[in-house]
Structure formats: structure tokens, C-alpha cells
Structure 1
Amino acid sequence: MKTTGVIGIGDMGSGLAKNLIANGFTVTGIDLKPERCDAFVGLGGTLAKDAAEVGRAAQAIFVMVMTGDEAKSVLLGPDGAVAQMQPGGAILLSATVRPREAREIGAAMEGSGIHLIDTPVSGGFPGAQGGTLTMMAAAPDAVLDEFAPVMEAVSANIHRVGTKSGDGQTVKACLQSLIGAQFSATFEAAALAAKAGVSGQVLLDVFATSSAGCGVVNNALEKIVDRQFEGSGSHINTMHKDLTISMGLGEELGVPLHTAASAMQIFHAGKSKYPNGDNWVCTRVIEEIVGAELHRKGAT
């Protein structure tokens, strides 16, 4: 199997395409933004005119769009990718959508002869570009075995989390409730340190070598102290959307998510004030309330 596709070649999808190409796969892709399409061609990809053309060209297609509705639009119906694929191919739903939306897509694909691998990812922009993503893959074992080479081209960790559509998205919703809480606690701690006059470098050194240090916390704090609030590949819209999914699942299942709810409100404030910012821009909202900023060389 050497023909693959990527629908949605932005920050995450471009990384998928880059690593598929590096591993010898032919990649056909599409995106709504011309600059992304140009960059994709520069990587060595073949640009398609629509999702149907991606379907005709590829045996395995990653879908890295923003919402479940967008995924349905590019996959289903006579003009979607699924209808144009040869039997035996697979859709890898790597976008983060609601679990019920993944189940709906799986149900709509029944009888098509095309497999659905529900496999949202974690690792963000660095993981996508570096080919080190964690995948939460749900499909029958035989399907996962067959398409393992495609997944291994973009991922360092492939977890088989279930066999049904929606299983992968459910695990991702649980994960994002935790990551959202880690982010928001980091933002608050950064503002607390700024108000107390602690330098960003001191805080980063301590956090990174403490029991609280981890990839999520360390990366967020580094972006904060360097004041890198835009263009880091982690747009606030994505995490805001993911927390909405986590909260929706909690409501559906009757599970209280107190900490995730607080994180949701912090991200909502950040998105409202700085709609073009990345995740860490939420810190600026808190800093503005307390009247202090955290910089690498000192608080101001």
C-alpha cells in the first residue's frame, strides 16, 4: 500500500503529509486555504480539486478537519471521498470530533466496503511535524494490522483503544479534559508568579524538574515566558473545541467535570479576547486582571 491521502493539510495535516511522504507514500491532499495547498505541493504532495478526487487516488485517507460536520461533508454522500474509494480502503479519522459523530460516520459507511479507523491523535504541532504523535486507534484488529504501516509513518505510539467507531474519540475526550486542566493551572501559576515578582526562567527551571513538570506544562510555560502567543501551531480554537467535546460527553454520561469546566471558561475567555491567539494567550487575560506579566528574564 503506497497511495494515501490527507484531507485538511493545516498545522496537523501538513505534518501527516510530510511524514507519509518521507516514508515513501504517495500523498494526495486538499485544503480550503491556498497557502496550505502551496506548502503541501512544496513538500512533494499531489493537490486534488476536491475530496472525491482524494478518494479516487488513495487507499488510506487521513481526515484532519476541525469539526464532525466538516468530516461528514468531505467523507459522505456521492461527492465524498468514501464513495470514490476502491473497496478495501480505509478512512483514518484523525480529527477530534464528538464520539457520537464518529459513530454516525461509521454507521453511514456500513456496506461501503471501506473501513473506518477512529484514531484521534495527541502531540500537537510538534508531534505532527516530527512524526511522533500518539494515536488512539479503534477498529477491528485485522483492520489495524493491515493499515499499521500507514499509521506508523506518522506516529510513535499507537494504542488500540477499542474496536468500534467512537471508541477512539471517547478516549481523546477524556485526555483533553486532563490536558485542559493542566493548561489552565499553568496559566494561573504563571500569572501568580508574575504578580509575586518571580522571573519566568526561575519558574520554568523549577517546574521542569518538579513532579508537576511534563510536556504539556513545560511547553506552555516556555511559550508564556517567551511571549509567543501566536503562530506556534496550537491555535486556541482547537483546544476550545476539544474541551467543548469533553464537557458534552460528561453531560451525556452524567459525569461532573468540575476542573474541566473551569478550564473551559478560561479558554472561553482567551478565545473571546484573543481569537487569533494560541492556547497560552489565556495567560494574557489573567495577567491583565492582575497587572503583571511573566517574562523569561523577570516579571514586569
Structure 2
Amino acid sequence: MTSPVGLIGLGAMGAGIAATLRHRGYELHVCDARPGVAAAFAEQGGVACDSPAQVAAACEVLVSVVVNALQTEDVLFGDQGAAAAMKPGSVFVMCSTVDPNWSIALEGRLAALGLHYIDAPISGGAGKAASGQMTMMTAARPEAYDKAGAVLEAMAGKVYRLGDRAGAGSKVKIINQLLAGVHIAAAAEAMALGLREGVSPEALYEVITHSAGNSWMFENRMAHVLAGDYTPLSAVDIFVKDLGLVLDTARATKFPLPLASTAHQMFMQASAAGFAREDDSAVIKIFPGIELPSATSDEKKP
């Protein structure tokens, strides 16, 4: 028998993680800030809770899959927050993309309360979260791994242990996001040029995905553009935030990031133009003088 696991945040990634843990035999206690979301999940198995505190009271391993540091602060220390309800020795697993220095400080704050902490950002998208094949970039003290290591392995296909203190996981994640953001921006620029020059977008996609210029982000995100489907799996504003974290980290040591800076400005432009909550591939909409493929009912986003 496994001990119950708590999970807070049932968005695209969190819902997939929760489904994976449920499939692998864990009793899940879940909550989400949106009304009815936890109850809908629990209809297929699990326990819906009204607050992070209620989840924390029932579980010694608590996984947080919310958007950013501000939401994580609210999960832990807000009204009905988890920190005050967690039993001493419990583990808080933080899966958001955050400032590494904030993550380092959070480890100390939780240690002062007798709680363990795992700095554990995730990558791979909603599909890999749901199939248990996502990647986790983790850093924690050995005693945190001792208590929650089996849960991490159940959640992900790859669990990298990058250090025995918080911070390294978040640093590696923002470097990953630097590449992801630049690759999406470059993919959008390439597809936009093809459209401007009158190249068939389907033909361009076919050639590039079988050529040296391909990237995972081109193959994945430009499929969304071809389908004319900008339903957000990862929204434009996620990269406004994440590339902002990348630039803030580099700025602290006066390290130049010219490509990341340009990509950040592209996502900022897309957000300001009204595409903030659309799929991040909507960054292509900032390019003038092109006609984008329109949605068709029989095409679905991968």
C-alpha cells in the first residue's frame, strides 16, 4: 500500500500528473482554485479537497503544480495554506518554473517549519505528463528524496537529481526554457517567412521536419499553426514569464543573452497584441503581411 499523495493545481500538467499517479496506484487528494475541477477529477478516483490545508492534513507528500512563485506562495502561506497544516517531516514538491533564488529561500523557510522541500520543475508538455513520461529537474536534501523519491519516479519518465540543495533544478529548468522560447520564436519566424514568400505551409512543414533545420518545437508548435488551433497548452504569457526569469537571472551577473532577449520581446509583443492566453505558437501572429492557415474541424492539435 502507498501513502496518500496530495496534488494542488489541476491545469494541463497537473491533471496529467494526477492521472498518472492515480493509474500507478496512489490515493490522490487534490484541489484546484477553479470551482468544480477537483470534484470532476475525483469522480474517476481520488479525494477532492476544498483547500491546500485540507490536502496537507491528509498527505505527507504534497505536489504543487501551479503557474508561478506567487501562486506557490498562496498555496503554502495564503488563507487555508498548506504549510501550517503539513505534519513535521512532510515533503513539499514544487514543480513550477521560478526564480532559482526564490526556490533556494523557500527551502530554508520550510526547513524552519520542520518540512522538507524538493525543487522539482517539470518539462515535456501535457501529453507526457499524462503518460508518465515527462522530465523532472530536481534538487533536494537526501532526506527529502528518501521520503518522496518513489512518488517522483511514479510521476515522470526521467527524474534528474541535480544537487543536494534547492536551486539547481530551477536553474536547469530556466536554461531549458531559454532554448524552448528561442526555438518557438525561431520556428514562428521561419514559418512566417515561408508564408510571406508563398511557400505551401504544409510542404514547408514536411521538408523542415525531415531536414537538419528541424527542432522539437518546430515540429510540435508549427503543427498548431497549420491546424489554425491556438487553444493554449502552453500560453504566450508563460514565455513572457519564463524568458523574463531567464533574463533576470543572467542580468544579476551581467551575462548577455541576445537571442533570449529578442525572443522575450517577440512574446511580449504577442501578449500586448491580445494573444496572451493563446497557445505560445501564436507568437507567429506578430508578423505582418501573412495569411495564417485557418482552423478546420477535422484537424486536432498533437
Confirm or deny a common fold (TM above 0.5): yes
- Say which is worse superposed, 42-51 or 88-97, in terms of deviation: 42-51
- Counterpart-to-counterpart distance in 1, 2:295 and 2:65: 34
Match of 1:190 in 2: 191
Match of 1:237 in 2: 237
Alpha-carbon offset, residue 76 of structure 1: 3.2
Flag the 1:89–1:180 CA change in 2: closer, same or farther, 3 A: same
Flag the 1:77–1:229 CA change in 2: closer, same or farther, 3 A: closer
- Say which is worse superposed, 69-78 or 253-262, in terms of deviation: 69-78
Alpha-carbon offset, residue 236 of structure 1: 1.9
After superposition, the C-alpha distances for 1:7-42 in whole angstroms (9 at most, x for unaligned) are 111111111111111111111111111242243223
Match of 2:263 in 1: 263
Query: 3-state DSSP class of the match of 2:162?
Result: strand
5+ unaligned residues in a row in structure 1: which ranges? none
- Say which is worse superposed, 191-200 or 77-86, in terms of deviation: 77-86
- How large is the Cα RMSD of the aligned pairs? 2.0
Alpha-carbon offset, residue 266 of structure 1: 0.8
After superposition, the C-alpha distances for 1:180-233 in whole angstroms (9 at most, x for unaligned) are 1100000000100001111122122122122232322210111111111124x2
- Counterpart-to-counterpart distance in 1, 2:290 and 2:79: 56
Say whether the 8 Å CA contact 1:191–1:294 is kept in structure 2: no
The aligned runs of 1:63-78 (5 Å cut-off) are 63-76=64-77
Say whether the 8 Å CA contact 1:72–1:105 is kept in structure 2: no
After superposition, the C-alpha distances for 1:158-188 in whole angstroms (9 at most, x for unaligned) are 1111221222111111111111110000000
The aligned runs of 1:212-291 (5 Å cut-off) are 212-231=213-232, 233-273=233-273, 274-286=275-287, 289-291=288-290
- Counterpart-to-counterpart distance in 2, 1:211 and 1:38: 47
Aligned length: 294
Flag the 1:269–1:38 CA change in 2: closer, same or farther, 3 A: farther
Match of 1:169 in 2: 170
Alpha-carbon offset, residue 77 of structure 1: 6.9
Q: Residue 59 of structure 2 aligns to which amino acid in structure 1?
A: A
Moved >4 Å (runs of 4+):
294-297
- Counterpart-to-counterpart distance in 2, 1:79 and 1:32: 12
Say whether the 8 Å CA contact 2:68–2:97 is kept in structure 1: yes
Query: 3-state DSSP class of the match of 2:271?
Result: helix
| 2:50 matches 1:40 | no
- Counterpart-to-counterpart distance in 2, 1:78 and 1:281: 36
Say whether the 8 Å CA contact 2:178–2:243 is kept in structure 1: yes
Query: 3-state DSSP class of the match of 1:290?
Result: coil
- Counterpart-to-counterpart distance in 1, 2:236 and 2:72: 20
Q: Residue 237 of structure 1 aligns to which amino acid in structure 2?
A: D
Say whether the 8 Å CA contact 1:190–1:294 is kept in structure 2: no
Match of 2:124 in 1: 123
Match of 2:57 in 1: 56
| 2:299 matches 1:293 | no
Alpha-carbon offset, residue 243 of structure 1: 1.0
- Counterpart-to-counterpart distance in 2, 1:94 and 1:51: 15
The aligned runs of 1:71-150 (5 Å cut-off) are 71-76=72-77, 79-150=80-151
- Counterpart-to-counterpart distance in 2, 1:78 and 1:229: 35
Query: 3-state DSSP class of the match of 2:7?
Result: strand
- Counterpart-to-counterpart distance in 2, 1:199 and 1:45: 48
5+ unaligned residues in a row in structure 2: which ranges? 297-302
- Counterpart-to-counterpart distance in 1, 2:101 and 2:189: 33
Say whether the 8 Å CA contact 2:235–2:278 is kept in structure 1: yes
- Counterpart-to-counterpart distance in 2, 1:246 and 1:45: 37
- Counterpart-to-counterpart distance in 2, 1:235 and 1:44: 29
Flag the 1:82–1:108 CA change in 2: closer, same or farther, 3 A: same
- Say which is worse superposed, 21-30 or 70-79, in terms of deviation: 70-79
- Counterpart-to-counterpart distance in 1, 2:83 and 2:250: 31
Say whether the 8 Å CA contact 2:225–2:292 is kept in structure 1: no
TM-score by length of 1: 0.92
- Say which is worse superposed, 56-65 or 202-211, in terms of deviation: 202-211
Query: 3-state DSSP class of the match of 1:152?
Result: helix
Q: Residue 25 of structure 1 aligns to which amino acid in structure 2?
A: Y
Say whether the 8 Å CA contact 2:118–2:139 is kept in structure 1: yes
- Counterpart-to-counterpart distance in 2, 1:117 and 1:290: 47
Alpha-carbon offset, residue 143 of structure 1: 2.9
- Counterpart-to-counterpart distance in 1, 2:123 and 2:139: 15
Say whether the 8 Å CA contact 1:13–1:64 is kept in structure 2: yes
